[in-house]
Amino acid sequence: MNLLLMFLAVVLAGTLGPDWRWPLAVCAAFLIIGWCAGKGRAHTGAFIKLLLAIGLILFVLRALLTDGRPVMRLGPVAVTEEGLWAGLDFSLRVMVICAAVSLFFIVVPRPRLALAIERLGASPHASYLILASFQAITDLGKNTRVVLDAQKARGVETEKGIGNRVKAIFPVLAPVFLVALSQTEERAIALEARAFNVRSPKTALLQERSVPVAEWVAVGTVVVACIVVTIGGATGWFSLV
């Protein structure tokens, strides 16, 4: 959970930093960390998708809805200089959260996350629910691609025109949901076979490693630095030049 604590501290500092340059630097740092961890391609792709789906929309809304000196008119709506700066600042702070969350779940193995949550005091049922939820999302995506390819092989048109895509929704979704229900039943049977509901200490194939002192010191240093930056940005003690 040291990684989670450090991520939370950096996100807090990034969202409450002095100005827009601080969250921009934090986003760049998360991207660099992703490449150093060997997950750069996956994390960068996810970050770009989130930037287009969330960051760009928030930027446009702030630019159009903030009063100030107009720099461009789009019909009855005016884009203001204050709106552009406010949109840039707000969207970058939101993207800090998106970059951190996407990197965390790409870098941290889900079984180890569930084990760490259980070691913090959560019940095995809660940790399994978290793990199963993430796994269900992954399985649903894989099953959708498999069913989509199978329907294409059977001659179902799924690519040309909106009408054809609408018609292909039911032939694709129906098998996907049937497979999901079947997998849920199989998981329930597997849990019963492994005596998951028995009130006794549970064992796990994964074991938490002992955290070295140097790692605690590194995490503590990052957390303290982020707290200082957060307090400085919130109280106006300093600003980035």
Q: What is the pLDDT of residues 27-81, one digit of tens each?
A: 888 888 889 888 889 889 989 999 898 989 999 888 888 888 888 877 777 888 8
Classified as helix, coil or strand, 70 is: strand
Instruction: Indicate the domain borders of the chain.
Output: 2-108, 114-193
Q: What is the mean pLDDT of residues 224-240?
A: 65
Question: Residue 209's pLDDT band (boundaries 50, 70, 90)?
Answer: low
Exposed/middle/buried for residue 160 (C-beta within 10 Å: 0-12, 13-18, 19+) = exposed
| 78 φ/ψ angles, rounded to the nearest 5 degrees | -115, 135
| 71 φ/ψ angles, rounded to the nearest 5 degrees | -115, -15
Q: What is the mean pLDDT of residues 144-169?
A: 73
Question: Residue 130's pLDDT band (boundaries 50, 70, 90)?
Answer: confident
Q: What is the mean pLDDT of residues 136-160?
A: 77
Q: Quote the tokens at residue 199.
A: 């009130």
Question: Residue 240's pLDDT band (boundaries 50, 70, 90)?
Answer: very low
- Consecutive H or E run containing 167: helix 162-167
CA 229 to centroid of chain Cα atoms: 24
Q: In sequence order, what are the beta bridge partners of 72?
A: 79
CA 52 to centroid of chain Cα atoms: 14
Question: Residue 12's pLDDT band (boundaries 50, 70, 90)?
Answer: confident
Instruction: Give the model's pLDDT for residue 48.
Output: 92
